[in-house]
Amino acid sequence: MLAQIVELVEKAQNSHAPIQKLTDKVSDIFVPVVLIIAILTFLTWYVLLGASLANALIFAVAVVVIACPCALGLATPTALMVGTGRGAKLGILIKNGEVLEAVNEIQTVVFDKTGTITVGKPQVTDIVGDETQVLRVATSLEAASEHPLAAAILNAPG
């Protein structure tokens, strides 16, 4: 169970939310445009206006520094990692960045009597031991039961 929780948190931290995909697209266009503007700035100051090489370079570098998308490119994944990590520390398992972004739209949260939020459709995720034998024994034990966990065992692939 702990390994599944760790795996879920790692997947969430490595996933890309729609906002991160948008920032990546913007950066893909923005960075080349800024570099072109910096080169044009250098050429304008050095060739057309006769500025010294040092001053023309300073002006070109200033364009790059002012327009640096570093904050945009680093802030989004950092915020997502911090959000999923902080959620995990508080006992909230966030499946991926898209879920974290969608939380903003939630208006009502309903918990069951134990204080958990579930889909309500349990399923077998792991089997320890000989899978065929474990499923055969578990299926024979749960065949006449109407319990939701019995249904999960009976519907287990294998």
Give the chain's mean pLDDT: 82
What mean pLDDT do residues 111-137 have?
Answer: 82
Q: State which of 106-110, 111-115, 120-124, 139-143 shows the largest mean pLDDT.
A: 139-143
pTM: predicted TM-score of the whole model, two decimal places: 0.36
What mean pLDDT do residues 20-41 have?
Answer: 86
Among 28, 112, 126, 130, which one carries the catalytic annotation?
A: 112
Q: Is-contact 5 88, C-beta < 8 A?
A: yes
Q: State which of 75-79, 95-99, 134-138 shows the largest mean pLDDT.
A: 134-138
pLDDT at 112: 75
pLDDT exceeds cutoff 80 at 5: no
Residue ranges per structural domain of the chain: 1-102, 113-158
Q: How many CB atoms lie within 10 A of CB 30?
A: 16
Q: Is 126 a catalytic residue?
A: no
Alpha-carbon distance 23 to 72, whole Å? Answer: 7
